[in-house]
Each structure stands twice: as structure tokens, then as C-alpha cells.
Amino acid sequence: MNLIAKLLPESHILLDLECASKKRVFEQVGLLFENQMHIARSLCFDCLFAREKLGSTGLGQGVAIPHGRIKGLKEAVGAFVRVREPIAFDAPDNKPVRLIFVLLVPERATDQHLQILSELAQMFSDKSFREKLLAAKTPHDVHLLFENWEPHAPSQRSAAV
């Protein structure tokens, strides 16, 4: 199982959420983390909003990966949100976003947190993966997509001997 599937239980997957702005997404995710992980919703919202002020976490291609550090958090936690209607996220391609992966990490970042962000970026750069996420019917279907995702192997160079 990859890093992402380990930190994304089905209960952290919200599909076709009715949100008109990233602020509303952060509020909904804050509520989810408060109910599921006992992280105060205001703490979650504030850390995501503060990070967003430093620069958009919109990647382009309809994807955003808002993330933040939470004091006292022991390990990384994630949530996946697919909004019903695309929302503005100040992405570099100026396209609105429908696929949002929220990542909260402990206050002190480790190499693992960078690996998680790297793996997320690889996943979401895969057009087929994005299309499958948009078509998935249930949180279980979405979780299976994350669980079964494998990076594309780099092109094999023939070894000249």
C-alpha cells in the first residue's frame, strides 16, 4: 500500500461536496477532521488558510493540495474532497478545481512529508487517475483508486555492454 492510501481512510473522502469557495472547503474539512481526528476545526481552517496566503496550493489541471502543519499532531492525516462544481483556487493554469487533497502534517516536517507531497503530485499529474477520480461513485471506489495507484515506471534504458 502506498503512503497516500495509508493516511486516507474512506471516512475522510467527501464526494460531490457543495462548496462555492476554497474557504468553504477548508471549513468542511475542518469539521471532518474535528469529528474524525479530534483536531479543532478552527485550528485546521487557520493552518490551511495561512498556508494558502503564502501562495496557492492549486496545482493546475483541476487539482489542489492544500496542506498545513498542526502543533501536537503525531502523524500525517489526509482528506480527499471532490466538489460538485469547480471552484477558483488561483491555480497556475487559472483553471478551477474539483479534486482537492488536504494534507495535515506534524509541526516538525520530516522527509516522509515531502515524500507524501511528491507522491500526491505524481498521482495527480496522471490524467487517467484524475479522470477515474472524477468518475468514482463512492468513497470506497476512490479509496481503491488511491490504494491501487502505481507510479509509471521511468522509461527503460537499454544497457549497452
Active site residues: 67
* 26: nearest Cα among 48, 4, 58, 54: 48
* 57: nearest Cα among 121, 3, 11, 147: 121
* 69: nearest Cα among 117, 23, 21, 24: 117
Question: Residues with Cβ < 8 Å from 24, sequence gap 6 or more?
Answer: none
Q: Angle, to 10 degrees, between the axis of helix 22-37 and the axis of helix 41-54?
A: 140
